[in-house]
A = this chain, B = another copy of it.
């Protein structure tokens, strides 16, 4: 049974409101549910209710939602979870990100590729770069993220397994991202408007395949057994996701003894 220790993170919930806090021996949480001395938590297991407070061990999602400091519109976990797997990421993958923003998606990518993987993320804006850097330093478990404070112009020959793009005009960087990728590598993008979908699709006409555009909607329900019903309001739009894969056209060799493609 893992116990709460000094300097560890906790997720504290009071009547549905969630707070991510770092336990420190001599401090307390002051909320509407009363004062809670962190020293009283140390040595206790995670997953406990004390008065009106519920104390959990934070998940990756908790850290993104309640820990990371945001200076930009972030890619939300519901999209990041999908992106990470859709990009085929797994233990040891190398992934390129253009547009770190606040680092929320970077943080998820870091978990998806694990301690043997590698995330290289570019951010041009100094303020965002600094914020993302601090977020990674505070919360990232593995040293697998490399943040670059510069405009993305290429990768010096490094070949990545996949890429994710979150910049205003993805079509402006797509070609250079493509050059950094292995053949077949999946590329993901997020854009807020339908006009941008149209722009990106035009760029994808050559050199890419298996393109897909989609959006993810999460509909939440109230948790009363006798009154099962959706919540009154929901988030209607965070962004459109575009996925594609690097594709090269292989010229058929004419000298071969048999045709590569024979009619059936």
Interface residues of A (CB under 8 A from B): 1-2, 13, 30-37, 40, 44-62, 77-78, 80-82, 84-88, 90-91, 108, 111, 114-115, 141-142, 159, 182-186, 192-195, 197-199, 201-202, 204-205, 209-237, 240, 245-250, 252, 256, 258, 260-264
Contacts and interface: CB of A to CB of B under 8 A. Distances in A.
Given A236-B219, A261-B36, A210 B1 contact: no
B210 A221 contact: no
A64 to B, nearest CB: 9
B46 A184 contact: yes
Contacts of A205: 225
B81 A84 contact: yes
Contacts of A258: 37
B192 A227 contact: yes
B261 A195 contact: no
Q: Which 7 A-B pairs have the closest CB atoms?
A: A59-B88, A47-B184, A47-B183, A46-B184, A194-B194, A234-B236, A51-B261
Contacts of A240: 221
B223 A214 contact: no
Nearest to A78: B82
Given A49-B209, A77-B85, A81-B84, A218 B225 contact: no
A226 B194 CA distance: 9
B90 A108 contact: no
A186 B236 contact: no
Contacts of A1: 159, 182-183
For A47, A49, A86, A185, the residue with the greatest tally of chain B CB atoms inside 10 Å of its CB is A47
Contact of A85 (B2, B61, B211): B61
B201 A34 contact: no
Nearest to A245: B56
B60 A261 contact: no
A85 B238 CA distance: 19
Contact of A87 (B59, B186, B246): B59
A135 B78 CA distance: 28
A33 to B, nearest CB: 7
28 contacts: A30-B264, A33-B261, A37-B260, A40-B256, A45-B183, A45-B184, A46-B182, A47-B182, A47-B245, A47-B248, A48-B184, A48-B249, A49-B209, A49-B248, A49-B250, A56-B184, A59-B86, A78-B82, A84-B85, A85-B108, A90-B141, A91-B111, A198-B225, A201-B224, A213-B222, A215-B218, A216-B217, A232-B236
